[in-house]
């Protein structure tokens, strides 16, 4: 298979309500992506457009064809991808596969949705229909399931509610300097704790907002990339499905599809989790199964134990303990870029 790389990306700003049609949002992200990659529209040989809610919210059908027309790249191979909350990732898979197989020289991949086209109840219902029909009929929605799962998580690991609120505070802090972020102001842990309840124990700042926006990447052969320092080489990609009805999962808090996809990914890349190292990294950490984001100072590998410098402790019965975290995944610290 041909080695592939991602030489360019582009995004719109994400907002609560963007008046532009969905195809215009997608086109804006695509133009910015091609500009970032130093490519022209004439270079594109395939288009892979992902949207999860266009038809459900009565906005657009045939997005791929409409977008090809808007970009003036008629004649290229174009397809529309829908895979619920994995729509964007699946579109990326299709683009990588097209280039790696030799079917396409330059694949333009875009994901776009315009959730402001309907009210909150309609959007919640549309998203919740990805659940199993039996569970949907019993009133299960994604917010309610997330609340049930979060409550079970906190109970199982005797974790404080502040652990979730700290994630919301971190997310808002990261958004302040992000020009395309929807909400660019800091939120304290106390504000997150005091925000309105959505699905107990989850509150407003624990939940993602309704958003309008689009993001695009371009995929091409590694040997055709002019600026190799700017491009990201794809070492491997993988995906997996899980048990559809939540009630049939051996453990409702375990997402086996993530584990299976991870195993496939490392196997395809020819590396082990312990091989992943990154200095001054942001690490997805685990303490007795409780997922937290921790800043790792210096070099740490997946599986290392590191101290968590958080502002709270976890209680086990009457005993308070300073968390010790197991690093399970790494990502680059944006402050170091």
Say if residue 21 is in the same domain as residue 88.
yes
- Helix (H) or strand (E) run with residue 257 in it: helix 256-269
Query: pLDDT (tens digit, 9 = 90+) per residue, 263-284?
Result: 999 899 998 877 776 543 344 4
Is residue 126 in a domain? no
Contact predicate 285/314, CB 8 Å: no
Residue 60 tokens read as 């657009």
> CA 89, CA 106: separation in Å to the nearest integer?
18
Contact predicate 84/196, CB 8 Å: no
Query: pLDDT (tens digit, 9 = 90+) per residue, 110-161?
Result: 999 999 998 988 888 888 888 889 998 988 888 899 999 999 999 998 889 9
Say if residue 197 is in the same domain as residue 254.
no
Say if residue 165 is in the same domain as residue 291.
no
Say if residue 220 is in the same domain as residue 310.
no
DSSP bridge pairs for 210: none
Q: Which of 258, 253, 234 is nearest to 328 (CA)?
A: 258
Say if residue 218 is in the same domain as residue 201.
no
Say if residue 42 is in the same domain as residue 93.
yes
What are the residue ranges of helices labelled H in 77-129? 87-100, 120-128
Say if residue 218 is in the same domain as residue 202.
no
- Helix (H) or strand (E) run with residue 46 in it: strand 46-50
Whether the predicted pLDDT of 195 surpasses 90: yes
Say if residue 88 is in the same domain as residue 59.
yes
Using a 10 angstrom Cβ sphere, with 0-12 exposed, 13-18 middle and 19 or more buried, the burial of residue 89 is middle
Is residue 257 in a domain? yes
Say if residue 226 is in the same domain as residue 94.
yes
Say if residue 110 is in the same domain as residue 26.
yes
> CA 225, CA 227: separation in Å to the nearest integer?
6
Question: Across the chain, how many H-helices and E-strands are there?
Answer: 9, 16
Domain membership of residue 300 as a residue range = 272-336
DSSP bridge pairs for 213: 113
Say if residue 313 is in the same domain as residue 330.
yes
Is residue 124 in a domain? no
Overall number of domains in the chain = 4
Is residue 60 in a domain? yes
Contact predicate 202/146, CB 8 Å: yes
Whether the predicted pLDDT of 334 surpasses 60: no
């Amino acid at each position: 298979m041909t080695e592939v790389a991602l030489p360019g990306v582009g995004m719109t700003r994400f907002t609560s309500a963007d008046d532009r049609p969905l195809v215009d949002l997608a086109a804006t992200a695509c133009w910015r992506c091609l500009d970032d990659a130093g490519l022209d529209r004439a270079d594109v040989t395939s288009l892979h457009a992902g949207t999860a809610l266009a038809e459900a919210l009565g906005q657009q059908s045939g997005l791929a064809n409409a977008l090809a027309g808007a970009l003036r790249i008629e004649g290229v191979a174009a397809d529309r991808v829908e895979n619920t909350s994995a729509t964007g990732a699946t579109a990326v898979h299709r683009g990588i596969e097209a280039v790696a197989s030799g079917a396409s020289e330059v694949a333009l991949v875009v994901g776009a949705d315009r959730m402001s086209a309907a009210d909150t109840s309609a959007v919640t219902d549309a998203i919740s229909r990805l659940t199993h029909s039996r569970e949907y009929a019993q009133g299960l929605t994604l917010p309610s399931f997330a609340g049930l799962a979060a409550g079970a998580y906190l109970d199982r690991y005797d974790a404080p509610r502040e652990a979730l609120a700290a994630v919301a505070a971190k997310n808002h802090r990261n958004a302040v300097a992000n020009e395309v972020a929807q909400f660019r102001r800091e939120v304290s842990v106390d504000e997150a704790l005091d925000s309105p309840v959505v699905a107990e124990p989850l509150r407003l700042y624990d939940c993602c907002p309704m958003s309008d926006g689009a993001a695009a990447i371009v995929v091409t052969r590694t040997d055709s990339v002019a600026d190799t320092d700017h491009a990201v080489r794809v070492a491997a990609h993988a995906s997996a499905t899980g048990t559809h009805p939540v009630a049939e999962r051996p453990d409702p808090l375990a997402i086996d599809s993530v584990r299976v996809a991870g195993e496939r990914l490392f196997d395809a890349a020819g590396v082990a989790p312990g091989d992943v190292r990154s200095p001054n990294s942001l690490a997805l950490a685990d303490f007795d199964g409780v997922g937290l984001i921790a800043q790792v100072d210096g070099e740490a590998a997946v599986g290392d134990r590191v101290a968590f410098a958080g502002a709270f402790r976890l209680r086990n019965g009457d005993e308070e303990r300073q968390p010790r975290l197991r690093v399970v995944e790494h990502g680059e610290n944006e402050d170091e870029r």
